[in-house]
Structure 1
């Protein structure tokens, strides 16, 4: 027989549960306020013993960056709040707090927060988690000039935007992803040597021109076109099919293949089930009338005049020969992401 007189004495912070049958207790995990308190406790338990005004300034900065981390997690990855109890994540968080407390640099703070949020998404000790931990320790060793170089090298050498369909879209893409960094770029060799010393990449002996890179990745933007008769002369059985041929972006009286790169074109041909004979012929047309590198450079400067400065720096600095490490990619990726918001997952490049 059940005893209906179920009085309980509970202590502070405890939860009393009474029921006449079975009880299921649901663990709601760590709340944002709890995660914030844990984060601040981490700083208090391990932070430098500063005095006077320095201690007060550091304390304000630690709270500021901690609030930023919590807000970013709530917005982008709420499940990451549960990492507040994980020792490795706490160490990564402490790195962010410590570095921001030292200098209070807003841009660096934003960058570190983005890296930390990405770090919170990793549930196991894999290469991406290790790279992000190392990136958190490396980024504070770099200036805005270094960070800008990593972002631009990453953008041009390691990414491709599949959504660019014409010159206006290309210009808008450059405005959003490149322009914020242009004024911070430098030709100073010592800067790239420091990036190499910091483990962000290496300076090679040979490199690729920027016009060569963009002319390959976005070849469809730099074609002179061909006459419609070329399709009949080459006996392409699909004919003037709008799936594969469009008016030339640089000469409306002619046609061009409807693709930005050979990689894009091959995927399109696969998806549409084009015969091997037509496939070879269309791929051949894609290379017909491609602009030379000087012409590509001229066209890009016409699209966005500030590209003249980018070309000059790229050509006369180690930028064109610089190869990024995984840490350099992670920092370059985060530096772009902090400015434009959404960006493809870092796992695409590091896995």
Structure 2
């Protein structure tokens, strides 16, 4: 049985298996050799079960392996030969044992995608070690806690490029909602995640959502009275009516990068002013100043979400100060992409990948 429904083009299950086998053969790895390696890896584990349990474990082991082979052949066929590496075999063994202990498809998807990701990186680099740790840690997390980690990741570990509130609300409803819809967590869940090393409580005291408010200050400002904005900014047509109060004004830019581009086009060539001049710094101060209240920020972010079990304010306040560890972020990122496909926005894991 295949778990990955989205983006499949291989037809029925048997045809997908055959297509995957063809990829392995073309890469110089025989499919029956993969099965043999897999069976050898967990043989010692099988001997510890009763006959009835052993039959079920063998079935789940084969189900896991077939899903892994199909996923590997479709996502990273060029890395098929990584199965010859000792670290891949050891991690495959760990993932198989974890899945066969419960048969949870949600866990299986995460473990399979972690294996595929591991096949694409060099052994013993930082990211590879984090992935291997994620394989060991993921089975200690419930499906509900996986969704909670995904939700935290969206809020704390993704850089957004929203241009206005409408785009923000649309993307939150599309991306966050699948993980928020059935979320049912309390502080004990977060304490558990912290105890196993998947996250921690940040001593800096940032409220849940503050990173997004800092990334895109133009979407979370109260605005200014016209006289409060320096004249040179008004003269250069860099302001507009405030999005939250049309009687006030704010900069047109939503983030610092956009503001500096606008200054470069509108101001610097005309006046020959260096980017390091005090005027850009003054404009940045206006952009980031006078933010809306924490409660209003949370209300804006939670507005597009729907959950019959949780009150939005409770959920957002619950996550205040909580952030994912690197390993927790790897798990959350993988869970999101297993469900939704590749993320379009830059994330913490993208930065780690690029640094390796």
TM-score, length-scaled by structure 1: 0.77
Is there any run of 5+ residues in structure 2 with no aligned partner, and where? 1-22
Distance in 1 separating the partners of 2:63 and 2:146: 22
Aligned to 2:237: 240
Superposed displacement of residue 119, structure 1: 0.7
Contact (CA 8 Å) 1:145, 1:186: kept in 2 or not? yes
Shift of 1:155: 2.1
Say if 1:32 and 1:70, in contact at 8 Å, map to a contact too. Answer: no
Contact 1:144 1:184 in 2 (8 A): no
| Greater displacement, 196-205 / 111-120 | 196-205
1:312 equivalent among 311, 314, 319? 314
Q: What pairs up with 1:118-137 in 2 under 5 angstroms?
A: 118-137=117-136
Give the aligned partner of residue 34 of structure 2: 39
Name the stretch that deviates more: 172-181 or 298-307: 298-307
Shift of 1:149: 2.5
User: What corresponds to 2:163 in structure 1?
Assistant: 165
Contact 2:24 2:73 in 1 (8 A): no
Cα distance in 1 between the residues matched to 2:92 and 2:251: 50
Which segments of 5 or more consecutive residues in structure 1 lack a partner in the other structure?
1-27
Deviations 1:45-101 (A, max 9, x none): 132224433223222222222222222222221111011211111111122222222
**Higher Rg:** 1
How far does residue 339 in structure 1 lie from its aligned partner after superposition?
1.8
Cα distance in 2 between the residues matched to 1:203 and 1:108:
25
Counterpart in 2 of 1:348?
A: 351
1:205, CA displacement in angstroms? 5.1
Q: SS of the residue aligned with 1:256?
A: strand
Aligned residue in 1 for 2:206: 208
Counterpart of 2:287 in structure 1 is 286
Q: Is the 8 A contact 1:38 1:84 kept in 2?
A: no
Compared CA separation, residues 34 and 58, structure 1 to 2 (3 A)? farther
Q: 2: CA distance between counterparts of 1:76 and 1:96?
A: 18
How far apart are the structure 2 equivalents of 1:120 and 1:273? Answer: 49
Is the alpha carbon distance of 1:166 and 1:108 closer, same or farther for their aligned partners in structure 2, counting shifts above 3 Å?
same
Deviation for aligned residue 1:206? 5.7
CA shift, 1:246, in A, is 5.3
Per-residue CA deviation, residues 214-247 of structure 1 (Å, 9 max, x unaligned), is 322332222344577776x522387115xxx556
Matched residue, 1:18:
none
With 97-106 and 275-284 compared, the bigger mean Cα shift is at 275-284
SS of match in other structure, 2:250: strand
In 1, distance between residues paired with 2:266 and 2:138? 45
Q: How does 1:212-291 map onto structure 2 within 5 Å?
A: 212-226=210-224, 234-236=231-233, 239-240=236-237, 245=239, 248-251=242-245, 256-262=250-256, 265-266=259-260, 269=263, 274=268, 275=273, 276-287=277-288, 289-291=290-292
Is 1:192 aligned to residue 190 of structure 2? yes
How many positions carry a matched residue from both structures?
Answer: 316
CA distance in structure 2 between the partners assigned to 1:104 and 1:269 by the alignment: 57
In structure 2, the residue matched to 1:54 is: 53
Q: 2: distance between equivalents of 1:132 and 1:84?
A: 15
Distance 1:270 1:83 in 2: 48
Give the CA deviation at 1:133.
Answer: 0.6
